[in-house]
Amino acid sequence: MVGLGYLLRRACWLLMAALVAGCATSPTGRQQFMLVSPDAAVSMAQAAYMDTLRQLARRGKLMNDPQLAERMARITGRLVAVAVEEYPHTARWAWSVALVDDADVLNAWAMAGGRMAVFRGLIETLDLSDAEIAHIMGHEIAHAVANHHAERMSMVLAQNLAVSVVKQNTEQDSQAAPIANTVATVALTLPNSRSGEEEADNLGMRMAVKAGYDPQAAVTLWQKMADHGGPRPPEFLSTHPDPASRITALSALVDDVQNLQPAVPPEPHGVRIYSAE
């Protein structure tokens, strides 16, 4: 039987080869690990997003709120106008926002290709202003333009590669797979997720300001997040940790980006809003 140590070394060599072959650069110059190309991620995200929408519709979880739909189209449209100007290839994306009717969930997320969702609880529980919503959606748009979804998919692929190598070559699945899984998770997932969040904070704030929104709203947004902590903090915080450090970092950026505000806000780019019909 092939030794466990050999198999783990083989998995690690495969991961190292993948890391060398899969390097890319983010909009801020950060080196990214990419086994899944941005175009492939956009294609795969389309199917996943539409499947998610069908599930939400079947469960009656899409909102019926024309006023909020108009508000989100206007705010997000201004942000997307900035994104398209700075990243022209994103004009081809199917920019969209699903309005999820769940008052208990304080969350928002983005997939590749500008496909996003925002939950009722995030907007209503925190009583968000237009500018605060702009910083939420700017953060999510930044994840999309910086190809963070493709990056996360690449990490999962690499993680599964390590597990697959071990499983295909040993009967000691119960021992080997968890070890390979831990190696891949610690080596790939944790370091990049932190830098990705910092990148989205920076890019998102700049886009929100260029869309005509007050940069100070990014700070008040995170203050609201922190104040709503306690026994059941916002789900958004589960993937966006440490609001205190974030508030400090964003506060330091306010003066730097203030001069990016335009004299006249950009005209909103078309954004499809998915809500209950």
Write out residues in the chain with pLDDT < 50, as ranges. Answer: 1-21, 162-163, 165-192, 231-232
What is the distance between the alpha carbons of residues 124 and 90, in angstroms, rounded to a whole number? 30
Distance of CA 161 to the CA centre of its chain: 23
Q: What is the pLDDT of residue 161?
A: 59
97: helix, strand or coil: strand
68: helix, strand or coil: helix
List, in sequence order, the alpha helices (H) in the chain.
4-21, 38-58, 66-86, 120-125, 130-145, 148-169, 173-184, 190-210, 216-227, 236-239, 243-257
Q: What is the pLDDT of residue 182?
A: 33
Q: What is the pLDDT of residue 192?
A: 38
The active-site residue, picked from 132, 140, 151, 199, is 140
Q: What is the pLDDT of residue 183?
A: 28
Q: What is the pLDDT of residue 191?
A: 35
Tens-place pLDDT, residues 14-35:
444 444 445 667 776 776 766 7
Q: What is the pLDDT of residue 11?
A: 43
Q: What is the pLDDT of residue 3?
A: 47
Q: What is the pLDDT of residue 18?
A: 46
Q: What is the pLDDT of residue 149?
A: 80
Is 85 annotated as catalytic? no
31: helix, strand or coil: strand
Q: What is the pLDDT of residue 195?
A: 77
Q: What is the pLDDT of residue 2?
A: 44
CA angle 221, 227, 232 (to 5 degrees): 110
Its domain, for residue 236, covers 4-274
- In contact, 256 and 267? CB cutoff 8 Å: no
User: How many folded domains does the chain comprise?
Assistant: 1
